[in-house]
Amino acid sequence: MRSTFEEIESSLKTAAAALRDAGLDFALAGSVACWARGAPQSRNDLDFLVKPEDAERALDALVGAGMRADRPPEGWLLKAWDAADDGSETLVDLIFGPRGISDVGAVLDRAELLPVAALDLPVVHLDDVLVMKLHAFDEHACDFARILAIARAVREQVDWDDVRARTDTSPFARAFFTLIEGLGIVGDGSPPPRPLAATTRAKVAVEGEPTGPIERAERWQAPGRITTSVAGESVHEHGDG
């Protein structure tokens, strides 16, 4: 389910106001929390972190703001759908039991008050966001593209030693750290050189033309087929291109 970022911003304002007015402890989480600190925009959904004991009250607050309730079977989040005038819906996740987080209250206490979409909102600390994201990877969901873009954008704001220590039990997190170090996103190493497109074509010597002081003329030949002259015979080498 993908929404425009304008729709996500609109749902963010509605949801944040509803949770605030209900007197709940909450904080913006997920990719939008990273965007609030300079990461790329999110087009998928909107995440809020709430305490387990507040999850049902939080969902009721969103329903009271006009959203449609959804209780998935996972057991660690609740969902609400915010309908737009054109019939499209933006998904709002209320997360209360994320993997890798043993004390949601402590994470909410670490949240930082930041200006987001013209509101001052509590936003989950980047270290905690990345811990949650890395623990969410499994055999069925291990596409690193989005989290690599986030890491590149916010790398100077993260305590990478802390995130590594808190995710060391996950093989997917260990693979992620291998990637960001190999790409030069973190660590002392420089990024690997980018491969250049193979645009150079082989030059060949063709006997018999043109006439004049130059006995052989250089001609372009298709890549993968190189003609040379060895002991008066024409030799053709076929490459793989």
Q: What is the CATH number of the domain that holds 76?
A: 3.30.460.40
- Band the pLDDT of 207: cuts 50, 70, 90: low
Is 92 found in the same domain as 207? no
- DSSP class of residue 65 equals T
The pTM of the full predicted model, rounded to 2 decimals, is 0.77
Say how far apart CA 78 and CA 229 lie, in whole Å: 74
Do 118 and 219 fall within a single domain?
Answer: no
Cβ neighbors of 229 (< 8 A, separation 6 or more) are: 205, 207, 235
Q: Which domain holds residue 210?
A: 203-238
Indicate the average pLDDT of the chain. Answer: 84
Token readout for 3 is 């929404």
| Same-domain check for residues 124 and 89 | yes
On whether both 129 and 229 belong to a single domain, the answer is: no
Q: Do both 159 and 217 map to the same domain?
A: no
Q: Could you give the 3-state DSSP secondary structure of residue 11?
A: helix
Measured distance CA(118)–CA(151) in Å, rounded? 25
Q: Which range (35-49, 157-171, 211-225) has the least confidence?
A: 211-225
Q: Which helix (H) or strand (E) holds 205?
A: strand 203-207
φ, ψ of residue 39 to 5 degrees: the values are -80, 170
Place of tokens 């989040």: 77
> Are 159 and 90 within one domain?
yes
Give the count of domains, the chain. 2
Whether 232 and 164 map to the same domain: the answer is no
The pLDDT confidence band at residue 232, using thresholds 50, 70 and 90, is very low
d(CA 237, CA 46): 58
C-beta separation of 167 from 100 below 8 A: yes
- 111 lies in the same domain as 43: yes
C-alpha triplet 189, 191, 195: angle, nearest 5°:
145
Same domain? For 170 and 231 the reply is no
**192 in a domain, yes or no?**
no
Q: Write the single-letter amino acid at 205.
A: A
The answer to the question of residue 191 being in a domain is: no
Let me know if 122 is exposed, middle or buried by CB neighbors in 10 A (0-12, 13-18, 19+). Answer: buried
For residue 231, the tally of other CB atoms under 10 A from its CB is: 5
45 and 158 fall within a common domain: yes
Residue 14 in domain: yes
State the average pLDDT over residues 136-156.
Answer: 95
Same domain, 234 and 167: no
Looking at the structure, tell me whether residues 165 and 100 fall in a common domain. yes
Comparing 63 with 191, the larger pLDDT belongs to 63
